[in-house]
Structure formats: structure tokens, C-alpha cells
Structure 1
Amino acid sequence: MTDRKSLTADGSVTFYSDEYEEAYHSPSGALTEAEKKYAEVCRISDRDEVDILDICFGLGYNSAAAIDNFDGKRLSIVGLESYQGIIDEIVRLVDGAEYPFECNEMMKKVAATGSYANDVVNIRLVMGDARETIKSLKDSSFDCVFLDPFSPKKCPELWTEEFFSEIYRVLRKGGMVSTYSCARIVRENFAAAGFTVKEGPVVGRRSPGTVALKQEDRDRR
């Protein structure tokens, strides 16, 4: 699989996947999308401690935006990704001074070794099919989920009620999922999995994103 680099409208770099025939980010701005649709929606800057599950880690922009916006005591991130090739691009972007976040060296370490830890931040990558790797995660272990696969049309397997039920399982009560898609099937599947569905912000697209809230604990399996 060959991914082609391109520049988005805010000056940040993304890649186009020939396999999925889609870019990894909105052409209106990869950096902007990570900040506005993920880090800000999940109120990362207001939290003292937070556990994040980043599904479809990709170039790590959503996690990097969370790190750059965090000013608390403990931030833990587990990233799920199936394609090593896009992880390798993080190193090249950092080395080429094209990675658009302050935590670039931290993200380079994650890409090169699969993990990073200091006194505040802990990041761990789990490689493989997210439908399988999520099953290894403990119940009620995350406050926020960044859901960023390719579109429901191109990657339908990561937008199903079954997969959303796994997300519901690993979220704590009061936890939230943020994603760029507002497709009807996405919102219907969130609701069927037990989530309360709300509109996310409009950023670089005509349509809003989606926020899904876990408001009670119950067995969805």
C-alpha cells in the first residue's frame, strides 16, 4: 500500500491512502481537525487526569493535540492502529520538521518504539485490527475515545453497533466518544450500542461531527 503526502489548508501535512481512496484528514486542515474535533471536544485542557483511547491512531495528530492541550497531572493514551506504514511516517515528518505539534519528539519516540512515558504522559500503541485489539482492553478504563477511521463507506467495519458496543464497554460512566462523522448509520449504531448521541462541532466541513456519551453502566454484550 502506498500513501501519498499532501498539504492541507492550514499548512499541516496529511496522507492519501490508495487502499481506502481517502485522505487521513480533512483537506481544510489536519491540525485544525485534531484540535477542534478531538482535543477540544473532550475538554482535555480542563482535565487533571485523563485516559484516552485513540482508535485509528494514524499520524498521531489527535493524540498529539491532546498532549499539547493538556496541563494536568496524568495523561494516558492507548492508540489502536492496523497499518505500520502510517506510523513510520511520523518519524519522517518529525525529522523533516513537518510534524505540526510541540510534542513532536515524544511522538517520534512512540512511532519508533511503540511507547513513551514521562512523569505526566504515558502512550502505548497496540498494532492490529481494532475490532480484535479492543477486546484486550479492560472494562471502564477510558474517559475519552477519539474515533477516527476512514469513512463509513470505505471502512464500514469500524462503524458497526458491534464495535461501538466494545467502545461502550471500555468507557467509564460519563465518558465520551468524539468523531468527525455524522452519517445516519453511525448515529443509529451509537444509539443502539447504548450511547446518548449529540452533535459535535462543524470544522472544515458542512456537517457537524458526532459526540456519543456513556451515561450509565450496563452490560451491552
Structure 2
Amino acid sequence: MNTQVVVTADGSHSVYNAEVGHHYHSVYGAVQESQRVYIELGLQHAFDTIDGPVRVFEMGFGTGLNALMTLREAIRHNRSVEYVAIEPYPIPADEAQQLNYDELLHTFWLADVHDAPWNVPTAVTPYMMLTKYQIPLEQMLPVGPFDVVYYDAFPPEGQPELWTQEIFEKVASMMHPGSFLTTYCSKTMVQHNLRAAGFAVEKHSGPARKREVIRAVLK
């Protein structure tokens, strides 16, 4: 896999995938994008509306940033998170070791989330049970229902097959009514396919250089 660690505008790292032609995170700030889209609109909203452990599914484990930030918030709020992520093409171990997220976020677990074995539930800390699957979404078995979905695939220009009505229907089958999906991509086609798959689409203000992002609630 042809990938390279790069620095984004807020000083945090991302990874550029030359085969797909896209970055794993916004070049205008990886951490601030994850904070807005997945933590504020996703996890924190789940903490506000759900009692007990929160079940999170991440489409695209990638750099591990979303998992790391989720663990940080779980500890801050004294909440338990069951976190399931898929990543068919993990980044090389040497690139994972270069990422500066622990330094920027004042955390200590980036190596732990990357080193967790595949296909085995792993207690990263008492606050997070992490299970990673090295498979594409099409092969994901129904292991939900999940309370919140972080939909962090490459954009439709790079992976159009991951933004179809059919794929959102598969994701919906792993959720329950009232659970929700958050994503950085607000293209009209994506909104249409989410609605066709049974979601009510909410538009929210985005991070830097991003006018709006999506939280989609399953009806």
C-alpha cells in the first residue's frame, strides 16, 4: 500500500493514500475534524442520550485517531464504550508509530489501539473494549446493534461503492431506531442515499473549511 504520513493545518498528522488519491483526514486539521464530526456530533450526543455502555461502530479505522479520541472522552466522562472498527487495509506499523496524536492530545494509548489483535475483543483500558476486523464493509456480519456509527470512508470520488443506498441499508441493519451515523461528507447524493436507506438527515456546521457535515438518525 502506497501511503505517507503528512502534517495537516492544525499540526496533527494524517496519512495520504496514493492509490486512492485521498487523505485519511481533512488537510485543514485532522484532530479538529474528528473532534467535530465524530466526538461532538457522535459520541458526546450518545453520552447525553444513552445510559450505560455506548456501542460504537467505525467504518474505516485508518490512523486510529477516532478510536483514540473516543477513549479519551470515555475516560473524561467515566463512561464505558464498546468499539468495533473495520479496516481492510491497515496502515504500515512504522507509519502508525510516526503519528503524533498522543503528543497533541496528551494521551498514551495510540500504540495500544494499533497493536490490539485483529478479530479479538481487547480491553484497551477498563473504559474501552476494542474489536478490529480486517475486512471490507461488504463482508461485515451483523454484530450490532450499535448506538452510533462513525462513517469515515474515503470520499465518494475515491470509493463510490461505500456511499450507495445499498451500503447504507447494510449499515442500518447493524443499528436500532434512534441510533445515528455521523460523517464528514454532506454531498447531495450521500444525503439522498441515506434518506432512501431509512435515515433522517440532519445538517450541522462543520470544522474548518467545511460548511456542513451530517448526522443521520435511523427512523
Residue 121, structure 1, aligned to residue 128, structure 2: yes
TM-score for the superposition, normalised by structure 1: 0.86
- Identity score, percent: 26
Partner of 1:6: 6
Match of 1:218 in 2: none
Partner in structure 1 of residue 202 of structure 2: 198
Identify the match of residue 91 of structure 2 among 54, 67, 85.
85
* Paired residue type of 1:78: V
Partner of 1:147: 151
Whole-angstrom CA distance in 2 between matches of 1:148 and 1:90: 18
Deviations 1:9-45 (A, max 9, x none): 1110111110111111111110111111111102435
Conserved in 2, the CA contact under 8 Å of 1:59 and 1:86?
A: no
| Cα distance in 2, alignment partners of residues 109 and 213 from structure 1 | 31
Amino acid aligned to 1:125: K
Cα root mean square deviation, aligned? 2.0
Partner Cα separation in structure 2 for residue 156 and residue 141 of structure 1: 25
Contact 1:182 1:207 in 2 (8 A): no
Give 3-state SS (helix, strand or coil) of 1:200's partner.
strand
What is the aligned partner in structure 1 of residue 176 from structure 2? 172
> How far is 1:87 from its partner?
6.3
Q: How does 1:1-221 map to 2 (within 5 A)?
A: 1-44=1-44, 46=48, 48-70=52-74, 71-85=77-91, 89-93=95-99, 100-105=104-109, 107-114=110-117, 116-117=122-123, 118-133=125-140, 136-138=141-143, 140-215=144-219
Aligned residues: 209
Any runs of at least 4 consecutive aligned residues in structure 1 with deviations exceeding 4 A, and if so which? none
Question: Given that residues 185 and 213 in structure 2 are in contact (C-alpha distance below 8 angstroms), is that contact kept between their aligned partners in structure 1?
Answer: yes
Change over 3 Å in CA distance of 1:99–1:173 after alignment to 2: farther
Q: Which amino acid aligns with 2:88?
A: S
Alpha-carbon distance change, 168 to 87 in structure 1, aligned in 2, over 3 angstroms: farther
Letter in 1 for 2:129: N
Query: Secondary structure at the residue paired with 1:14?
Result: strand
User: Are the aligned partners of 1:68 and 1:102 in contact in 2 as well (CA < 8 Å)?
Assistant: no
Go from structure 1 to structure 2 and tell me whether the alpha carbon gap of 1:52 and 1:205 turns closer, same or farther (over 3 Å shift): same
Judge conservation of contact 1:55–1:145 (CA < 8 Å) in 2: yes
Change in CA separation of 1:42 and 1:102 when aligned onto 2, cut-off 3 Å: same
Q: TM-score normalised to the size of structure 2?
A: 0.87
**C-alpha displacement at 1:176, in angstroms?**
0.5
Q: Which runs of 5+ in 1 are unaligned?
A: 216-221
Flag the 1:166–1:125 CA change in 2: closer, same or farther, 3 A: same
Compared CA separation, residues 83 and 100, structure 1 to 2 (3 A): farther
